[in-house]
Amino acid sequence: MEAVKEALQEGRPVAYFPYGEGALLLVERRRSLEAFSLGQGRRLPSLAGEFPSLDWFERTLWERGLELVGHPGLRPLRRHDLPYAFREFPHLHEVPVGPVHAGIIEPGHFRFSVLGERILNLEIRLGYQHRGLLRIMLGKGPEAALLLAERAGGEPVAHALAFAEACERALGIEAPPRAQYLRRAALELERAFGHLGHLAGLFTDIGYAYGATQVGRIRALLQGEVDRLTGHRYGRNFIRVGGVWREGGPDLEALSRYQKELDWLLPRLLKHPQVLDRMRYVGVVRRVEALALGFVGPTARASGVERDLRQDDALYPAFVPAVRQGGDVLSRAQVYAEEALQALEYAQRFLRQRAEGPLAVEAEAGDGEGMARVEAGRGEVFWFVRLEEGRVAQAEGVDPSFKNWRALELAVRGEGLPDFPLCNKSFDLSYAGNDL
């Protein structure tokens, strides 16, 4: 137990799921992964009181029938058939929002406790997108299960890639180099596409129509290139276990043109007085909070946490992550802008570098266990899979949003209620990804 605590003190939980008799906790410390087997039978000691980054993981384990001894406040995360009590604050006014929102957005329920306009506490209740995805994967072959993994969160390429790599490790195969480059190209295009969407959304939310339209225009054009590469507007049906299904031909010149245009446009947009006025010092997540709660992706990097899984990927030599120190909405917007440009650069590089050779190796049905992590636009995607007789016997996925949702609770604390949509958009979390 001491070793676990030491690892958690310096590191960050990556995944925590039922495994064998008890549960398996994976912790990243100093850029390497450490695994701990915890619990006896269905009983686990709760560590969430000491390490709040484990709170949602433990709530999920509890929902799945494990007993968490000593957890400070167990509440369901996805199951709505279990009782749920909101925190009550006497003398404060409560503002309930959702699950159906005013715009076009996934469902979730937010309970604000406000004093006047000021938010003193936000409690998030999710689970509306729960589709039992992990359960229906059981008994399926890797290809059919991959269809479900592609639908786990809002980033199909990243999820498909992590799931395919987990299966490949379980089967002891490796995708050929050409497929590796094409997969990464799709991943980077997905990142650029997603980040531009976040930026356009942020500009919309502050009423900066020029910024929203310009970024939205390039984003729509970029989506055409994703479509050309993968045959799907969001990159589904592209990655398979053992490689990729096809090789489309995106327009490299167009990609370089969008990059140049954004290179000119984004810094100017982000310096506009209206943008600075509404985004600077708003929705701050401090570095110490990001570390303690184990945030990942741009959310963590905008708060000064210098970690990006691409640092460990041989295909990205000498990778330098985009980092900002402010932790506010503006810092996150700056990270999105920088990463979008960087992603376009890498996508072109991978498309030019793709080697000759087959697009995939055939995967024989087999047994084994494998796990993989991929840096998606929103942060770290994790998949674990255990195959028995060529069928999925256990699958566990963690979307970056699962780790980042509580950043929103912190960011809006002390802000005015009307700033909530802006703060929410600045993290752009996946509801479905959380509700697996």
**Rounded to the nearest whole angstrom, what is the least distance from the CB of residue 220 to other proteins in the complex?**
5
**129 near other proteins (CB under 8 A):** yes
Choosing from 151, 169, 286, 349, the residue that interacts with other proteins (CB under 8 A) is 151
The label of the residue with tokens 């290809």 reads 143
3-state secondary structure of 25: strand
**257 near other proteins (CB under 8 A):** no
**Rounded to the nearest whole angstrom, what is the least distance from the CB of residue 119 to other proteins in the complex?**
21
Whole-angstrom distance, CA of residue 82 vs CA of residue 245: 42
Name which of 235 and 298 has its Cβ closer to other proteins: 235
The backbone region for 123, taken as left when phi is positive above 0, alpha when psi lies in -120 to 50, beta otherwise, is beta
Choosing from 92, 100, 252, 355, the residue that interacts with other proteins (CB under 8 A) is 100
Name which of 217 and 413 has its Cβ closer to other proteins: 217
**Rounded to the nearest whole angstrom, what is the least distance from the CB of residue 415 to other proteins in the complex?**
21
Whole-angstrom distance, CA of residue 280 vs CA of residue 378: 21
**153 near other proteins (CB under 8 A):** yes
Choosing from 55, 106, 375, 396, the residue that interacts with other proteins (CB under 8 A) is 106
Strands 67-69 and 43-45: parallel
**421 near other proteins (CB under 8 A):** no
**116 near other proteins (CB under 8 A):** no
**154 near other proteins (CB under 8 A):** yes
**Rounded to the nearest whole angstrom, what is the least distance from the CB of residue 301 to other proteins in the complex?**
22
Name which of 240 and 324 has its Cβ closer to other proteins: 240
Name which of 59 and 324 has its Cβ closer to other proteins: 59
Choosing from 132, 172, 358, 416, the residue that interacts with other proteins (CB under 8 A) is 132
Nearest Cα to 261, choosing from 214, 227, 224?
214
Whole-angstrom distance, CA of residue 21 vs CA of residue 113: 41
Phi and psi torsions of 12, nearest 5°:
-150, 130
3-state secondary structure of 339: helix
The backbone region for 13, taken as left when phi is positive above 0, alpha when psi lies in -120 to 50, beta otherwise, is beta
**408 near other proteins (CB under 8 A):** no
CB 398, CB 15: distance < 8 Å? yes
Piece of 113-121, 313-321, 367-375, 424-432 that binds other proteins (CB under 8 A): 424-432
Whole-angstrom distance, CA of residue 8 vs CA of residue 284: 24
**80 near other proteins (CB under 8 A):** yes
CB 418, CB 123: distance < 8 Å? no
**104 near other proteins (CB under 8 A):** yes
Piece of 87-95, 305-313, 406-414, 427-435 that binds other proteins (CB under 8 A): 427-435
Binding mask 214-243 for other proteins (x = CB under 8 A): --xx--x---x--xx--xxxx-xx------
CB 370, CB 167: distance < 8 Å? yes
- Sign of torsion, CA 436 156 411 291? positive
- Give the angle 344-206-267 at the CA atoms, nearest 5°: 35
The backbone region for 385, taken as left when phi is positive above 0, alpha when psi lies in -120 to 50, beta otherwise, is beta
Nearest Cα to 198, choosing from 91, 105, 89?
105
**103 near other proteins (CB under 8 A):** yes
Choosing from 36, 89, 245, 319, the residue that interacts with other proteins (CB under 8 A) is 245
**249 near other proteins (CB under 8 A):** yes
Name which of 40 and 213 has its Cβ closer to other proteins: 213
- Give the angle 380-385-386 at the CA atoms, nearest 5°: 160
Binding site for other proteins (CB under 8 A): 78, 80, 99-100, 102-107, 127-133, 135-136, 143-144, 147-148, 151-154, 156, 197, 213, 216-217, 220, 224, 227-228, 231-234, 236-237, 245, 248-249, 430-432, 435
